[in-house]
Chain A
Amino acid sequence: QSALTQPASVSGSPGQSITISCTGTSSDVGSSRLVSWYQQYPGKAPKLMIYEVNKRPSGVSNRFSGSKSGNTASLTISGLQAEDEADYYCCSYASSRTYVFGTGSKVTVL
């Protein structure tokens, strides 16, 4: 199972919106509603930001939203803030109860 493809880096100015893509195949992203996104600060455990493509856990800012089209999922951060600077990973159900992560994207707030 190959890792899902994400851009290595995405940047934006405070207040702007950015979108991180996550491209898989018809065997994972394209055929599953179980796509999730994680935020990770250096030296910390990841944090769930989006699950089931576009659902936000309690406590996650509504500036974070998820979507999916075909084999590509996307995470959009609106009203970018300095605290959003982190690494972001997508994840999708793959097969036989297992999942696959994306390659990760570093978000920089300019």
Chain B
Amino acid sequence: QVQVVQSGAEVKKPGASVTVSCKTSEYTFTSYYIHWVRQAPGQGLQYMGIIDPRGGTTGYAQKFQGRVTMTRDTSTSTVYMDLRGLTSDDTAVYYCVTERPGSGGFDVWGQGTLVTVSS
């Protein structure tokens, strides 16, 4: 059964870092890719990157390279997204979402995590 549950809302100051977690089932962790997508208030979807939990291989959108790191913990079937150097432009709902490898379809979405960046 494919499922993902994200960590709760965060409030951060400019310049800080944030870590959002995405806990999956063991089946999901070993069978699916995990992508991260964000959506600023009133704005569209923005792709951030991918992690293959099986081997930890990652790929980041150019906009976020150097500022984002995606990791995983095999013991808890959890994926993490770290974003550094936060500005107010990073205020958004962050989603983790699964992809059956090779399908290109993002099928099971987390509930979203609101990250607010404010001084």
Contacts and interface: CB of A to CB of B under 8 A. Distances in A.
A100 B104 CA distance: 11
Q: Give the interface residue-count category, chain B.
A: 20 to 34
A98 interface: yes
Interface in A90-107: 91, 93, 96-104
Given A1-B62, A51-B104, A52-B103, A45 B111 contact: yes
Interface of A is mostly: strand
A18 interface: no
Interface stretch (A9-17, A33-41, A77-85): A33-41
Contact of B61 (A50, A55, A98, A103): A98
A89 interface: yes
Contacts of B59: 96-98
Contacts of A3: 44
Interface residues of A, number: 31
B105 A97 contact: no
Interface string B40-63: 000011110110000001011111
